[in-house]
Amino acid sequence: MGIFQRFARIPLKSTYIWSLCRQYSTDLTAVDRALIQHRCVHNRGLGASPGNPGAAPPRLPFSRVTQEDLAFFRTLLPGRTITDPDLLKSSNVDWLKTVEVCPQGGNTGLVGGSVPVFDEIILSTSLMKQVITFDNISGILTCQAGCVLENLSNYLEERDFIMPLDLGAKGSCHIGGNVSTNAGGLRLLRYGSLRGTVLGLEVVLADGRILNCLATLRKDNTGYDLKQLFIGSEGTLGVITAVSILCPRKPKAVNVAFLGCSSFQQLLETFQCCRGMLGEILSAFEFLDASCMSLLEKHLKLTNPITESPFYIVIETAGSNATHDEEKLHKFLEEVMTSSLVTDGTVATEATKIKALWSLRERVTEALTHEGYTYKYDISLPVEKIYDLVQDMRGHLGDMAKNVVGYGHVGDGNLHLNITSPSKDPALLAAIEPYVYEWTSKWKGSISAEHGLGLKKRNYIYYSKPSEAVALMGSIKAMLDPKGILNPYKTLPDNIH
Amino acid sequence: MGIFQRFARIPLKSTYIWSLCRQYSTDLTAVDRALIQHRCVHNRGLGASPGNPGAAPPRLPFSRVTQEDLAFFRTLLPGRTITDPDLLKSSNVDWLKTVEVCPQGGNTGLVGGSVPVFDEIILSTSLMKQVITFDNISGILTCQAGCVLENLSNYLEERDFIMPLDLGAKGSCHIGGNVSTNAGGLRLLRYGSLRGTVLGLEVVLADGRILNCLATLRKDNTGYDLKQLFIGSEGTLGVITAVSILCPRKPKAVNVAFLGCSSFQQLLETFQCCRGMLGEILSAFEFLDASCMSLLEKHLKLTNPITESPFYIVIETAGSNATHDEEKLHKFLEEVMTSSLVTDGTVATEATKIKALWSLRERVTEALTHEGYTYKYDISLPVEKIYDLVQDMRGHLGDMAKNVVGYGHVGDGNLHLNITSPSKDPALLAAIEPYVYEWTSKWKGSISAEHGLGLKKRNYIYYSKPSEAVALMGSIKAMLDPKGILNPYKTLPDNIH
């Protein structure tokens, strides 16, 4: 997912690519090359302003790619240095259509973190899709950064294991990008964050050195845990080229329940009851509101399997004994139905039906893209507060917004607040921001729970982090990337004070 | 757990203490003061040598504490600035009796990380023992660094939650020290490492600034995750003063099985079977060998509850349904007994009996202290290799060692290798080291799985980390603590190359 700012005399790329080639040339010839795309130069970006802090900053004074540089890349990567504008066209728009860029790797991010802003050279890891090792005693997988998450999941399921993370974009996102952005997703409630499950990384630093911390040990307290620097730093401190990760056993039984609640308060009470009664087999507790369901029905022609409700819950259990799990789930459902916490529900134990129920949660993002333009917010809050923000925002925006919808990970206190409009609307944006960030900050929430800051949210960091912390982040960036050539304009704010 | 090298004109401590006082003086007057002990000056340390890399290095050219400095501290902390050698005597020896020091906080470390080497001023957080907040919906606890782990456990159990970590030293170790050393312990198999469960930290930096990253959110991807720098860095980058941590629900049912195996291979097969059949309710899989059992019987008068075996296993289950858990455990035991993987066993469901069985595992360390002098190694290896090291070491040392014993966390691939001798024996040490580290390095293990490097192991870091990684650690240290005043002589090697 790393994107490289082109730099005079290309000391970075040459060292990096040579290092990669040297390292893998013996046994991994089919995947040892990185795809370099040369983005056509756009001089966009008038700079972020108080009214538009997500705008691109002015281009920094990096030099431009010369014909000599291109000749060098072509020698290094014959047939893989792409500069033809027509060939680049299909890659120049990311899937949200908000940034004109040439993406690489999965390009499934939501904050413009994986796309170049000006004429940065793109380094794609999409050919680095090899599983290096898998140990079926420990469950530790080591693979290259360009492996697609779903491919890894399939690989592991054949071996009776699963990936510790799962997300809607699994069909295209890369594990290197997942780690670079510290992706959360649908299984975090059960298996924890990548900060715990990632055991090792191989990272290429800004000066071309390879940092080999690709350990496959559950515990290692020898010195500082350097890999943590690269998890979630969006490629601004180094480029992740390989990952080792601890994978759980594949559960023998999986059940999914899709339930309706008449209020968010009842949803929260259902959550509390669920944690107590399902305990260690609970693997997901997700929600969507009625507005999300309308969009799923309207744009994707999905069918609501239960009676209409203001709120819908997806609960997944995963365990080692089908009979026990069904008994626990049955008792729980009996409890929430008789106490009227839940108004209607359906349960699936068969794979196809499970997938269908999950798609009601996973495809909300996709349904939203059909609405015109979507302003997306990914907020962490104390769980009892998460829907207050949606309701407050509806009142605050009134008729200005086409839709204000909420869905997300109740178990993690993570709300996806989405506001739609027929097209980009600066007046609407001005009504949303900084209001939404001030609201979040007031409740000590995070303005980016799992999406990262990327380009779009970089200047809002102070709503969630004190200036001492941001200053220290700046020092870390300066230490690891003194020339600022790794994924510029991302993660850190334009001004560090 | 932070220990401060005394520095000219004490700019660090004054800022730090004042910051603490300012911050807590309103509502936490009872615990707002840190205990400063002034260690009597020992000019020990001839320096590490090839034959003794764990020896103290020469004292660095820090200035010495003046009467003026002491007067300043006495104004700041009336009655709490301790310099009387008699009063310090009881604190001048750590519990392993290997370093003559004045410990502070829990002082339960095993690698000399929490004790001053020369005349460093000690800053104790032992009075900072206040729980700040606990949210019984999210299970997030926020507390001061000096809270004793067992006190936190008791506090949580009354509220139907538990700490995500547990270790033998729980009665004295402090949560701040646990986090500073990234302590592992007995529940890591189930709840993961502190890198995942610690959600926020308050840290005092070397220049006295307070870094407030005391978030209470499960997810937060706004910029770099600074708290990870302080987890496991043994107080060399900053002093942790408060912690927020995600706590699991208290399980409704806990069972402990104590089993005997006739070979380590059978023990490993039992582990594989156990993971499949107990799945999500498995919370610990620990082992000790017959030599450990002899020491428990001899020195602590504990009774072996089953017939003598070469290996013993402690399995703990923790779940939400007693009937289901007992059924799973029963089926598992039936399987391993009929297949003769396990030769004998006993099960406890009642708290007192559970505690008695656990003490057979938890008190091995204590039993070893009665043997004379113990050389302690805390090794991560691929799980199938962990006992090979014990057996290899027995052959290698022959009669030189009194005892070579192995115990530890099978589920985490973590062996505690302990070698005893009637007293310190340089010839024995020379036979053990670097042999044990070379052996570990050959199998790509870690020479410190959970204990850290501290003073004793600092110069062995290159056996587990490449020089690029160590160099980067040095850069991080230089960035955060340019004068080198935080816990000097610890964690990083004397020479970074």
- Domain residue spans of chain A: 3-127, 131-246, 253-364, 371-475
Most trustworthy range by pLDDT among A112-116, A141-145, B1-5, B75-79: A141-145
CA-derived radius of gyration, chain A: 23
Q: Tell me how far apart the alpha carbons of residues A63 and A46 are, in angstroms, rounded to a whole number.
A: 19
Q: What is the predicted pLDDT for the residue at B385?
A: 94
CATH number 3.40.1350.10 given to B253-364: no
Pick the more confident residue, A256 or B40: A256
| Distance in angstroms (rounded) separating the CA atoms of residues B180 and B108 | 12
> Is B436 or A60 the better-scoring residue by pLDDT?
B436
A137 vs B112 pLDDT, higher one: A137
Percentage with pLDDT > 90 across chain B:
67
- The reported pLDDT for the residue numbered A228 is 98
Looking at per-residue pLDDT, the higher value among B118 and A324 belongs to A324
Enumerate residues 6+ apart whose C-beta is below 8 A from B435: B393, B396
* Bridge partners (DSSP) listed for residue A246: A140
Q: Using CA coordinates, name the residue in chain A closest to B467.
A: A211
ipTM over cut 0.90: no
pTM equals: 0.88
**pLDDT tens per residue across all 497 residues of chain A:** 222 222 222 333 333 333 333 333 322 232 333 444 444 444 444 577 766 777 777 877 777 778 887 888 788 778 777 777 766 655 554 444 336 222 244 666 766 666 677 777 777 888 899 999 999 888 999 999 999 999 999 999 999 999 999 988 899 999 999 999 999 888 888 999 999 999 999 999 988 899 999 999 999 999 999 999 999 999 999 999 999 999 999 999 999 999 999 999 999 999 999 999 999 999 999 999 999 999 999 999 999 999 999 999 999 999 999 999 999 999 999 999 999 999 999 999 999 999 999 999 999 999 999 999 999 999 999 999 999 999 999 999 999 999 999 999 998 999 999 999 999 999 999 999 999 999 999 999 999 999 999 988 999 999 999 999 999 999 999 999 998 888 888 999 999 97
> Residue A288 half-sphere exposure, CB side, CA atoms within 13 Å?
23
What distance in Å separates residue A58's CA from the closest CA in chain B?
Answer: 21
My answer on whether omega of the bond before B434 falls inside 30° of 0, hence cis, is yes
Q: What's the pLDDT score for residue A112?
A: 64
Q: Which residues of chain A make contact with B457, given a CB cutoff of 8 A?
A: 222
Residue B256: is its pLDDT beyond 60? yes
Q: Give the per-residue pLDDT at A89.
A: 58
For A444, the closest chain B residue by CA position comes to B215
Residue showing tokens 């350097």: A226
Selecting from B232, B251, B280 the residue whose C-beta is nearest the C-beta of A225 gives B232
Q: What is the pLDDT of residue B233?
A: 94
Predicted pLDDT of residue A15: 34
Chain A positions touching B487 (Cβ under 8 A) are none
More confident residue, B98 or B388: B388
Give the distance from residue A9's alpha carbon to the nearest chain B alpha carbon, in angstroms: 24
User: Taking CB atoms and an 8 Å limit, are B320 and A276 in contact across chains?
Assistant: yes
Alpha helices by DSSP H, listed for A67-165, are 67-76, 85-89, 149-157
- Contact call for B213 and A465, based on CB within 8 A: yes
Residue B224 and residue A211: Cβ atoms within 8 Å?
no
Q: How far is CA A115 from CA A60, A103, A359, B254, B340, in A?
A: 16, 5, 27, 50, 59
The CATH code that applies to domain A371-475 is 3.30.70.2740
Q: Which residue of B has its CA nearest to A451?
A: B221
Of A138, A221, A319, nearest to B182 by CB-CB distance is A221
User: Which residues in A366-490 belong to E strands, given as ranges?
Assistant: 373-380, 403-409, 414-421
The shortest C-alpha distance from B453 to chain A (Å) reads 6
Give the one of A384, A446, A466 whose C-beta lies nearest to B219's C-beta: A446
pLDDT digits (tens, 9 = 90+) for B476-493: 999 999 988 888 889 999
Per-residue pLDDT band at B101 (split at 50, 70, 90):
very low
- Cβ neighbours for A59, distance < 8 A, ≥ 6 positions apart: A43, A45, A117, A118, A119
Contact at CB, B492 and A382, closer than 8 angstroms: no
Closest listed residue to residue A487, CA positions, set A159, A231, A117? A117
Q: Kindly determine whether residue B380 and residue A195, on different chains, have CB atoms separated by under 8 Å.
A: no
Q: How far is CA B388 from CA A214, A298, A365, B431, in A?
A: 23, 63, 52, 17
Q: Can you tell me the mean pLDDT for B148-175?
A: 95
Q: Do domains B253-364 and B371-478 have the same CATH topology?
A: yes
Give CA–CA dist B169/B148, Å, rounded. 10
- Mutation target for B interface from A23, A218, A269: give the one with most B CBs within 10 A: A218
Nearest to B451 among A217, A221, A324 (CB): A221
Asked if B136 contacts B246 with a C-beta cutoff of 8 angstroms, the reply is no
Tell me the nearest-neighbour CA distance from B300 into chain A, angstroms: 30
For residue B137, give the nearest of A281, A324, A383 by CB distance.
Answer: A383
pLDDT at B236 > cutoff 70: yes
- Topology (CATH level 3) of domain A131-246: 3.30.465
Q: Residue B114: what pLDDT? A: 67
Q: What is the DSSP string of B99-144?
A: SB----TT---SSS-SS-SSSPEEEE-TT---EEEEETTTTEEEEE
The answer to whether the beta carbons of residues B199 and B215 sit under 8 Å apart is: yes
* pLDDT of B90: 52
- A224:B215 CB<8 A: no
pLDDT at A110: 65
**B195 to chain A, minimum CA–CA distance in Å?**
6
Q: What is the residue-averaged pLDDT of chain B?
A: 85
- Quick check: B362 pLDDT over 90? yes
Q: Per residue in B15-32, pLDDT tens?
A: 333 333 333 332 223 233
Residue B284: its H or E element: strand B282-289
Question: Domain B371-478's class?
Answer: alpha beta
Token pair 């620990």 in the structure block, residue: B286
- Sequence-distant (6+) residues with CB within 8 A of B442 are none
